[in-house]
Amino acid sequence: MFDVQRIRQDFPILQQQVNGKPLVYLDSTASSQKPLSVIEAMNTYYREYNANVHRGIYQISEKASEAYETARKKVGRFINARSWREVIFTRNATESINLVAYSWGLNNIKAGDIILTSEMEHHANLVPWQQLAARTGATVKYIPVDEHGYLDMATFDAWLTPQVKLVSITQMSNVLGTVTPVGEIAQKAHAVGALVLLDGAQAVPHMPTDVQAFECDFLAFSGHKMLGPTGIGVLWGRKEILADMPPFMTGGDMIKKVTFEGSTWNELPWKFEAGTPAIAEAVGLGAAVDYLNELGMRNVRRHEIELTTYAFHRLSQVEGIRIYGPHDPTARGGAVAFTLGDIHPHDIAAVLDSEGICVRAGHHCAMPLHDKLGLQATARASFYVYNLPEEVDRLAEGLDKARELLGR
């Protein structure tokens, strides 16, 4: 039973009022709220066994090390990794993608090679490949998005040649909400010898994830979008690929032996985790995984499809609104980007804030996509496990108010 009213009681921040009105948080695509179990798990670490990991033989250090590595194993099971050694903790999905670009890319991409990504990517899955191409002489090509917000698979097929060495694609667009056919993409890419990286920052928190079924080579995602804390992300990679990659950063804990003549690296996954890691954040992420597992990811996905279906119905009643991306709720996530006539999205967000409603306004770190759409910005409402249909009603009413105040 997916009882949203009960779930909401687990999130202290949702119990407050903003501008004298109950808070409506519709910006989970940017960063989700945190349940009390995550907050308490991190607080317990700091209060009871705050110590560095992997380096102390005293009791609380060993307890910290166990908690840190237990969190890694929880994450591995959550995405169905073959081994916990394939799970690398980073700061966020952005760092995970950069790790691949620097560690794998600089050693495997050369002049004449092609990197395929798409027009609907977050900057974090565009800029690293542009920089890699500039350093190596490779070319980045952007798979088009059609007028309905879907990936142009015919163009993808046509561009997929042996010169393509990497396909780096979002699982779910943070603007259009589009869910991409990752299994099909991976199979076709592997047929020409290319590797596949999935930007799972939007998808992993919202739907079941199985890296073995996806047949991808890398998966990047962030803790703060999946009920966990900021400052921790994950890179999953196939062990045989990670084993051949040099470290992204060097220093303490990622070494096996250091002499004045040189160094040798630690085993996976620690060779990619230089220095003191985000220990409390890992503990919090582990607690977030526990919470999502208790809810059931299929239930999470079902709830968001139902809420997005209702949002399309209710928001369609707002005069002048235009929603971008697929209109089939089963083909998209719960991020709903829109414009309202000629009202600037920042003004929309300001009016909604006066009503206690939090939405995002801007280009959402996807400027090339907005350029393609002929827009400078959109407003975006996004839903998660704690959102209710009544909050969609509040959003629609707030948009009506914005149109009355600012519409021309």
Identify the CATH homologous superfamily for domain 4-27+296-406. Answer: Aspartate Aminotransferase, domain 1 (3.90.1150.10)
Average pLDDT over residues 272-288: 97
Calpha distance 81→210 (Å, rounded): 7
How confident is the model at residue 49, as a pLDDT? 98
Tell me the domain boundaries of the chain: 4-27+296-406, 49-293
Q: Point out the residues that are catalytic.
A: 365
| DSSP summary character for residue 180 | P
Buried b (16+ CB within 10 A) or exposed e, 322-345: ebbbbeebebbbbbbbbbbeebeb
**What is the rounded average pLDDT for all residues in the chain?**
97
List C-alpha distances in Å: 209 to 151, 183, 380: 20, 12, 24
CATH class of the domain whose range is 49-293: alpha beta
pLDDT digits (tens, 9 = 90+) for 154-166: 999 999 999 999 9
pLDDT digits (tens, 9 = 90+) for 254-264: 999 999 999 99
pLDDT digits (tens, 9 = 90+) for 92-151: 999 999 999 999 999 999 999 999 999 999 999 999 999 999 999 999 999 999 999 999
pLDDT digits (tens, 9 = 90+) for 70-90: 999 999 999 999 999 999 999
- What is the SS3 assignment for 252? coil
pLDDT of 365 strictly over 90: yes
Average pLDDT over residues 17-43: 97
How confident is the model at residue 210, as a pLDDT? 98
How confident is the model at residue 408, as a pLDDT? 58
pLDDT band at residue 56 using 50, 70 and 90 as cut-offs:
confident
Calpha distance 204→122 (Å, rounded): 15
pLDDT band at residue 383 using 50, 70 and 90 as cut-offs:
very high
- What is the SS3 assignment for 29? coil
Contact 151, 180 (CB under 8 A): yes
pLDDT of 267 strictly over 70: yes
Give pTM, 2 decimals.
Answer: 0.97
